[in-house]
Amino acid sequence: MSEEPNTVSIRDLGVVAALVTHGFEIAYTRRDTKGRTYFIFQQTVALDEIVNGYYADALQVKARKFFDNTKMLKARIYADE
């Protein structure tokens, strides 16, 4: 789901946490009419590689940093409600 050219919209919290853990910045967030939060990133080849690595179960991340980022993202989701 794309928002504007050169962006990608991701709802999967695990993918978003993996991207943030790898240093990608969230451009912005948005909610749909059902209240679901989407995280918007700039589309790059490197971003696609991380997403594909995540789904292929080939991605390695630092566990504590990944967990901390997951907590931060959940806080961000619930703070926006």
75: confidence class by pLDDT, cuts 50, 70, 90: very high
Q: Confirm whether 1 is domain-assigned.
A: no
Structural domain of residue 71, as residue ranges?
7-79
pLDDT value of residue 45? 97
Q: Confirm whether 14 is domain-assigned.
A: yes
Q: What is the pLDDT of residues 28-74, one digit of tens each?
A: 999 999 989 999 999 999 999 999 999 999 999 999 999 999 999 99
Q: Is the predicted pLDDT of residue 80 greater than 90, yes or no?
A: no
The count of domains in the chain is 1
Q: Confirm whether 67 is domain-assigned.
A: yes
Measured in whole angstroms, the distance separating CA 10 from the mean position of its chain's CA atoms is 6
Tokens 């709802």 correspond to what residue?
11
1: confidence class by pLDDT, cuts 50, 70, 90: very low
Q: Confirm whether 28 is domain-assigned.
A: yes
Cα–Cα distance measured from residue 67 to residue 81, given in angstroms and rounded to the nearest whole number: 22
Q: Confirm whether 2 is domain-assigned.
A: no
